[in-house]
Structure formats: structure tokens, C-alpha cells
Amino acid sequence: MNTKKVLISRMYIAMSLLVVSAFFSIISAAESKKADPNQIASDANDPNQKDKRVLPPTHNHPAFNQFYEERQKMVHGQIAWRNVRDPNVLYAMRTVPRHAFVRPDDIHQAYDDCPLPIGLGQTISQPYIVAFMTEALALKPDSKVLEIGTGSGYQAAVCAEIAAEVYTIEIIKELAESAEKRLKELGYRNVSVKAGDGYFGWKEKAPFDAIIGTAAAGQIPPPLLEQLKPGGRMILPVEDRLGFQYLVLIIKDQKGNLHQENVMPVRFVPMTGEVKKNEAKSKK
């Protein structure tokens, strides 16, 4: 009888411990759910903890719900029709509200098959060209992208819908500031904007899986080639001595060798800054 009581007592204690353990597990899980989903995970006490999780874009701004049908028609009639097939690129082009990146007077032309002026002698590229160049980069969810020539920020936003991180440089300070504000308001938390000369790239953030240029130069800036990661891809417009521009696709293999190909004739605004100085010297 005593043995039976002892066994029952032990079973009772064991069951009590299980109940207590389960209780604390539930409390712990509840506390985890209360955590801010946008909080960047990092160990403040670890001096070696340098990398922080980059937050993806949000789509809470009203602009994402506006001109929805126009975006669908743009993708179907201008982009998919011209054989852009990457589903991530098509999704990005359907998602990014291009009308938020053009001047107010041009909003009703935002989804037309053409570039549009954004002021200060700069333009927002034709939607098809944006899609074509983005597809050429073969972006992945963990890609780190460098863009030369932010403009209004549209190309950066398209890349940010696919890639983990986008770093974009604009030589015109006024455009850089307005693009940074616009991208932040639209919820592009994985885009960093810097006012500066894109010729030099962004050394502190290199290497990059992909580099995209949206202004034409007479030569490919050497710093950009250096900052391209082995296995990376770069596309940018290059102007030849006769004034013709071509989109040039550059692939750096795992050994660091460069493979270059002209893929399409285009017309972009010229790249300014250091590249112009070097071009002038080469002509002397």
C-alpha cells in the first residue's frame, strides 16, 4: 500500500513539473510574438556583431493601391510582350508605383512606353529598359546591388523588390535627397542612398553581386569592376567614339576574369563627374 502511495506521489510530481514547464513555454512563446517584427536582431554586447538584418520593403503606402490596372497593362503589353520572363522582375514591375517617381504633371503618363523627364536634365527610364536591365542582373533574394545614378529612385525600388540590399549613388545632391525621402516614405527600408560621384562606387559596402548604371559613360569605371564580386553581373550604358550607346553586360567569373557583351542600343543621359575628366584626358 505504501509503495502504491509512493508511486502515485511521484506521478503527481512528474505531472506537475510537466504542467509548469508547458506553462513557461507558452509564456515564452507569447513574449516572442509580442516582439516588434521590424526589430533588427543584433547582440549589443558583442563587439564583433557588425551585420544587421536588412528589412524588406513594406507596401503600406497608398500609392501601391493606385493605378493598379495600368501597371498590369504595362507589364503585359510592354515588358512580358518583349520577352522579359523573370517572374521576380515581372512581379517587381507590377508592384512598384512608377507614378510616385515622376513629376506631378506627368502622373497620367507614368505607365506609358517611354522615358519621362524628372527635372535637372535627368530622366526616369522607359519601363521596358528598367525591366530588361534588372533581368540581366539575375538578382536573387540575398543579392547586394549597387546602382549608379539614382534619379528619382525608380530603378532602385524595382531592384529592392527582389534583392536584399540596394545601394544607390546620385551625383546631383538635390535628386539624391528627394529620392531618399521618396523611397523612405514608400517603405523601401532596404535601400541606402548617397550623394556622390558614382564613378568611385561605394567601396565601404563592396563587393556587390550586381551593379547597374543608369547614365552613359565613354568608359567603364575601373572602381566598379573592382567592386563587382566574382560571379557577379554588371550592366550599364556605354557610349562609343561615334556617339552610339549600347547596354553592356559584364560578367565576372569565379576566377575574376571579365566577359563583356553589347546587348542593346540605347539612349541615356550622360554620366558626369570623374568619368568626364578621364574621357577628356584620353582624347588628348
* Triad 176, 178, 181: Cα angle to 5°: 105
Q: Could you tell me if 197 and 274 are in contact, meaning their C-beta atoms sit under 8 angstroms apart? A: yes
Residue 44's beta-bridge partner residues?
A: none
DSSP letter string over 211-240? EEE-SBBSS--HHHHHHEEEEEEEEEEEE-
Residue 111 CA to residue 275 CA, distance in Å, equals 32
Residue 7 CA to residue 61 CA, distance in Å, equals 64
Q: Does the annotation mark 125 as catalytic?
A: yes
Task: Report the Cα–Cα distance between both ends of the chain, in Å, rounded.
Answer: 109
Residue 40 CA to residue 42 CA, distance in Å, equals 6
Q: Is 113 helix (H, G, I), strand (E, B) or coil?
A: coil
Choose, from 21, 125, 143, 282, the residue flagged as catalytic.
125
Q: Could you tell me if 152 and 182 are in contact, meaning their C-beta atoms sit under 8 angstroms apart? A: yes
Residue 130 CA to residue 156 CA, distance in Å, equals 10
Beta strands in the chain (DSSP E): 116-119, 122-124, 144-148, 165-170, 191-195, 208-213, 228-239, 245-252, 258-266
Kind of pairing between the strands at 116-119 and 122-124: antiparallel
Where in the sequence numbering do the catalytic residues fall? 125
